[in-house]
Structures are given as structure tokens and as C-alpha cells.
Amino acid sequence: MNKKIQLQDLGNRDYKSTWEYQEELFKDIVDLKIKNRREELDLPTPNYLIFVEHPHVYTLGKSGDLENLLLNEKQLEAKGATFYKINRGGDITYHGPGQIVGYPILDLENFFTDIHKYLRFLEEAIILTLAEYGLESGRSEGETGVWLGVGTPFARKICAMGVRASRWVTMHGFALNVNVDLGYFDNIIPCGIRGKGVTSLQVELGVEKVDEEEVKAKILKHLMQLFEAEFV
């Protein structure tokens, strides 16, 4: 089992080219697993974690409802945003500057074969990271991701999640709002959930700007502990 995860920080990069890059890495791992099985080999499969920040974009998961996007094509253009229907779980979400997006492309057979445990570990890494900033966050039953004020009228989402898995290989991942312009969430019904707000680390801490590199380092530390992995 290969518990090393190759870390790649792509900086600010277009959503579509990043999605295509994810698909390439994903396919390479799946193809290697098929080859191992077919030829009775034991070649180690690689694991990746991509950090990226996207220009303004809305993405709709395969089970999502297009009506949760409240903009037409012209309005999207006016906002400088793009839109894609994609092959992850979940409904609609927004990505943009000031948001830390993480795409783990892992062969879960290197760690454990349990997709629910995988999602809980991603959530836990974010929950532990937020705790380091003095914020108490948690899970909301039946709603993937990380929330603040769970069970109160002020419940608000700070981190969205949506993944795809095939042959125990994962892609897509999480999006943590750090210094993001929350106004862009007004153009959608986030994750198809009505009546609940969205927040960011910057808003919750009441500061001008949060150090995103520091946040990434904390997320990595917790992922490393949870997955008992080494980042290279």
C-alpha cells in the first residue's frame, strides 16, 4: 500500500482545464489498477492532492437541479462567471478567488475501502482546521460538508464537498470559503438547500484577510494525521 500523497498547488487555474487534469490523473490510476489485476502485478498506485483557486465558476453535480442556478447566460457573463455540469455527487456550488479548493485523487485501497469514512475524514480535517482558529463547526445530518451553528436558525455552510469514486479511486473534493466574495452565492441555491446561509473564515473571524497558505498548511497537517499519510 502506497500511503504517500503527491501534493500539487496549481495556484489560480481555470476550472475546465483543472477538471481535465483531474480526469487524466484519475484515469491513469484506474488503468494501472486494471493492469495490476489483469496481469497479476503489484505496481504501486499513486495518490495526489491538488490545491487550486478557480476564477468565478458555478458547477452542478450529476444529481443537481439546474433551477438552483438563478442566472441566465447573459447574467453569468456580466458577473464574469462560467458554468459547468460535472460528474461529481451533490448539487450546485460556487468556486472563486479566496476559496481553497482541494481535489484528493486517491486510490482508497491504499488507505481503506469506505467512501463514507473518506467523506467524514475530509470533513474532519476541515473541522479540526477551523478549531485552530477558535471556530466550532460540525456536520449537518444529511447535508455533506462543514457547517457553523448546526441546529440553530443561524446554520451556515463554510465548506462544500462533492466527490466521485470509481474502483475506489476518488476525484473532486472540498471547497473551503476563506476570503471569498460571498455575494456570488446569492446567485444560486447553494447545494440545493434553501433557507441556510453561507459564510467564510474571514467573515467569522472579522478580519480583513486570512492567510490562505497558513490555512492550507493546517488542512495538510490534519489530512496527514487522519489518513496516516505522508505528503511529498
Active site positions, annotated: 191
Radius of gyration of the chain (CA): 17
Burial degree of 73 (CB within 10 A; 0-12, 13-18, 19+)? exposed
CA 19 to chain centre: 12
Q: How far is it, in rounded angstroms, from Cα 97 to Cα 76?
A: 16
Buried b (16+ CB within 10 A) or exposed e, 83-100: beebebbbbbbbbbebbb
- The three-class DSSP label of residue 192 is helix
Grid cell locating 25: 490523473
